[in-house]
C-alpha cells in the first residue's frame, strides 16, 4: 500500500504547526470509518485509505510526542509512527470489534520504539526481549530518582518477568550520561539539557501499566510471600517489617527486640534476602 500524504512534518514550520493542522482534520464517526474500510477492503479504494490515515494522524503526533525525551528528531518519530499507522490499517478487520484508533496504537508505538532502539546509545543494551521490556518500563516503574532498593528490584523483576540482575544492569545504564550514536547530530547545550530531562514520562494510565499492577498483585506478591514463609521466625519478622511494611523498622529496633547487635540483625537480613532471591529464581 503506497500513499502520498498531502502534508508531512518537514513541510510545516514546526511540530506544533503540524499538530495544529492534523488536529484540525475531521475525525471519523464509527459509521464513516466502517464505510471507508469496506471501500478499501472490498474495492482497494486508496482514496478511502487516505481519508482514514488523515483522520488518525493526530494519534501519531500524540504518541510521537511522548517519545521526545529520547532526544531524537520529532519528524523522524512522526514518520515511524505513520508507518505503524499504515501497517495497522493493512491488518485491521471490521470484525475485530474495536475502532481503528485502539488497534493502531500498538503498531504506532511499536514502530517508534524500534526506531528508538536502533538509534539510541542503549541499542547494545536492548538486544534481548527482557532488556527491551526494561528499557521502556524501568523509568516509569521507579517511584523516585534514587537507586532502587533490593525489594523494589525484586518487585519490578517479578512484574516484568526478568531477573534482578537485568534490573540492576539496566538501572546503571539508564543512569549514565547518554549521547547520540551519530556524533554529527550532537550539540553540547542540547545534550546537557537532554541528560537532565525525565525520559518518556507518561502520566496516563495505560493498558500496560494496568496489566503490570494486576500481575504484581496476583503473582509477584504470592511468590514473595511463599518464599518468606519458609524463613525462621526472626528472619521472617525482620524481612516483613523492613521490606513489606509501610512503617519500616530500623535495624536498631530489631537489635533491641532480639537483644543482639545491629550488625547481627544486618547479617540475618542479608542471609534472608539471599534465601528469598534463590527461591524466587526457582519459580522461573
Contacts of 219 by beta carbon, 8 Å cutoff, 6+ apart: 158
Q: Classify the phi-psi angles of 70: left when phi > 0, otherwise alpha if psi is within -120 to 50, otherwise beta.
A: alpha
Chain mean position to CA 237: 34
Mean pLDDT of the residues in the chain: 75
Question: From residue 150, how far is each of 156, 174, 242 by CA, in Å?
Answer: 10, 17, 11
pLDDT tens-digit map of 42-55:
999 999 999 999 99
Name the fold adopted by 229-283: Arc Repressor Mutant, subunit A (1.10.10)
CB 52 within 8 A of CB 37: yes
Weakest-pLDDT range from 61-75, 95-109, 227-241: 61-75
Closest of 49, 62, 50 to residue 18, by C-alpha: 62
CA distances from 62 to 51, 78, 105, 109, 160 (A): 19, 9, 10, 11, 26
pLDDT class of 206 with cuts at 50, 70, 90 = very low
Architecture of domain 1-119: Up-down Bundle (1.20)
> What does the DSSP assignment read for 198-231?
PTT---S--HHHHHHHHHIIIIIHHHHHHHHTTS
pLDDT in tens, 218-248: 555 677 778 888 899 999 999 888 887 777 8
Q: Where are the domains of the chain?
A: 1-119, 126-204, 229-283
- Measure the CA–CA gap between 152 and 158, rounded to whole angstroms: 10
- CA distances 185 to 73, 76, 116, 191, 271, Å, are 10, 14, 15, 10, 49
Helices and strands, counts by H and E, the chain: 14, 0
pLDDT at site 29 = 93
Amino acid at each position: 500500500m503506497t500513499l502520498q500524504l498531502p502534508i508531512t512534518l518537514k513541510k510545516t514550520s514546526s511540530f506544533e504547526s503540524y499538530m495544529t493542522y492534523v488536529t484540525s482534520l475531521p475525525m471519523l464517526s464509527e459509521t464513516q470509518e466502517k464505510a471507508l474500510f469496506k471501500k478499501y477492503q472490498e474495492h482497494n479504494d486508496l482514496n478511502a485509505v487516505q481519508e482514514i490515515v488523515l483522520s488518525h494522524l493526530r494519534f501519531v503526533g500524540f504518541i510521537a510526542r511522548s517519545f521526545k525525551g529520547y532526544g531524537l528528531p520529532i519528524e523522524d518519530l512522526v514518520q515511524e509512527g505513520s508507518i505503524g499507522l499504515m501497517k495497522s490499517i493493512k491488518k485491521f478487520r471490521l470484525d475485530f470489534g474495536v475502532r481503528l484508533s485502539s488497534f493502531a496504537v500498538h503498531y504506532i508505538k511499536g514502530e517508534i520504539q524500534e526506531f528508538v532502539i536502533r538509534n539510541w546509545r542503549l541499542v547494545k543494551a536492548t538486544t534481548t526481549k527482557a532488556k527491551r521490556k526494561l528499557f521502556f518500563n524501568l523509568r516509569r516503574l521507579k517511584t523516585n530518582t534514587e537507586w532502587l532498593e533490593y525489594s523494589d528490584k525484586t518487585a519490578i523483576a517479578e512484574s516484568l518477568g526478568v531477573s534482578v540482575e537485568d534490573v540492576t544492569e539496566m538501572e546503571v545504564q539508564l543512569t549514565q550520561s547518554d549521547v547520540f550514536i551519530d556524533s554529527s547530530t550532537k550539540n553540547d547545550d542540547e545534550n546537557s539539557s537532554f541528560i537532565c530531562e525525565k525520559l518518556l514520562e507518561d502520566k496516563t494510565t495505560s493498558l500496560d501499566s494496568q496489566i503490570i499492577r494486576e500481575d504484581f498483585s496476583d503473582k509477584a506478591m504470592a511468590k514473595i510471600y511463599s518464599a518468606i514463609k519458609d524463613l525462621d521466625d526472626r528472619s521472617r519478622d525482620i524481612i516483613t517489617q523492613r521490606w513489606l511494611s509501610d512503617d519500616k523498622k530500623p535495624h536498631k529496633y530489631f537489635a533491641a527486640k532480639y537483644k543482639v547487635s545491629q550488625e547481627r540483625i544486618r547479617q540475618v537480613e542479608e542471609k534472608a534476602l539471599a534465601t528469598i532471591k534463590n527461591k524466587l529464581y526457582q519459580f522461573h
